[in-house]
Copies of this chain bind each other. A is one copy, B any other.
Amino acid sequence: MNLIEEIKKRSIHVDKGIQEMLPITHPEELYKAARYLPDAGGKRLRPAAVILAAEAVGSDLQTVLPAAVAVELVHNFTLMHDDIMDMDDMRRGMPAVHVKWGEPAAILAGDTLYSKAFEILTNMDNDPLRIVKCIEILAKTCTKICEGQWLDVEFEDRGTVSEKEYLEMVEKKTAVLYGAACKIGALLGGAPLQVADQMYEFGRLIGIGFQIYDDVLDIVTPEEVLGKVRGSDIMEGKKTLIAIHALNAGVKLEIFGKGKASKAQLEDAIKKLEESGSIEYARSVAVSYIHEGKTKLNILEESPAKEILLAIADYMIERSY
């Protein structure tokens, strides 16, 4: 099975769905700003998870396509607002929305994606009770994402962050949307709540693994693949699982949070993190989340969709960027 191809087969429908369900209408510039990031692509892992969860419980793409689009719009809404808060000026290789259109526009474009996501969910041809349940899941997920981003911003100003606090932040900021994607797909696909709950756990656990592994990639990926210098998280003083482990192990990283460092200083810091086992520790935690997540799919019968979901889980810790 070619994972990228399997995702692509589904994401072309998501791309088309975004164009149809979020048309560029009056006032045009608002909708252009709202469509800018969704149109720029991304891996579409979350909408693919919605669709695959539905397929894995015996349903199909068409039944859940609006929900897949809604989840992708929520993801893009969080990117737009996060980029303002984090003052990140680039996204997907392009200027961020707030750089191109200004902050008020980026706030409004994000707010528009938010309401459109809920509107799209109400327009589905499905059992109203299941629709209400899915809206509840998405709304609660959005609240948790706000909590996660709040914690992430707050951690920047904190001297130390515990592993437990870090994991809570990662779960809320990243993992719950994967959980919601899988659960919503399963529910709209007709699965009983018990199955849908396991699907949520699958998404949540691999989402945590995904984010932890992202921090590993920042350090182990060669510059030419990463597209930026290795170890930028160390310079920025990000309290990743690697940094938390190293600090607890008494590793002294002179450049941590200093904002800049020479290549030699970075290489030296990375060497220390290797010696302290901090990188290996984070990798092993990521791997164990992925493995635990995969066991949750034991509740499903064998199917091509289940195989693809398992492959997505593996991809989380096998990808190179």
**A residues with CB within 8 A of B:** 26-27, 29-30, 81, 84-85, 103-105, 107-108, 111-112, 114-116, 118-119, 121-123, 128-129, 131-133, 135-136, 138-140, 142-143, 146-147, 149-151, 153-154
CB atoms of A146 and B111 under 8 A apart: yes
CB atoms of A107 and B107 under 8 A apart: yes
CB atoms of B122 and A143 under 8 A apart: no
State which of B27, B122, B149, B153 has its C-beta within 8 Å of the C-beta of A139: B122
Residues of B within 8 A of A131 (CB): 128, 132
State which of B112, B128, B142 has its C-beta within 8 Å of the C-beta of A115: B142
Residues of B within 8 A of A132 (CB): 122, 128, 131-132, 135
A78 nearest CB across to chain B (Å):
9
Number of copies: 2
CB atoms of A111 and B81 under 8 A apart: yes
State which of B128, B136, B149 has its C-beta within 8 Å of the C-beta of A129: B128
A18 nearest CB across to chain B (Å):
15
A31 nearest CB across to chain B (Å):
9
Q: How far apart are the CA atoms of A27 and B151 in the complex, in Å?
A: 7
Residues of B within 8 A of A154 (CB): 27, 29
Residues of B within 8 A of A26 (CB): 147
Q: How far apart are the CA atoms of A115 and B123 in the complex, in Å?
A: 18
Q: How far apart are the CA atoms of A119 and B154 in the complex, in Å?
A: 25
A22 nearest CB across to chain B (Å):
10
State which of B104, B107, B139, B149 has its C-beta within 8 Å of the C-beta of A119: B139
CB atoms of A142 and B27 under 8 A apart: no
CB atoms of B119 and A27 under 8 A apart: no
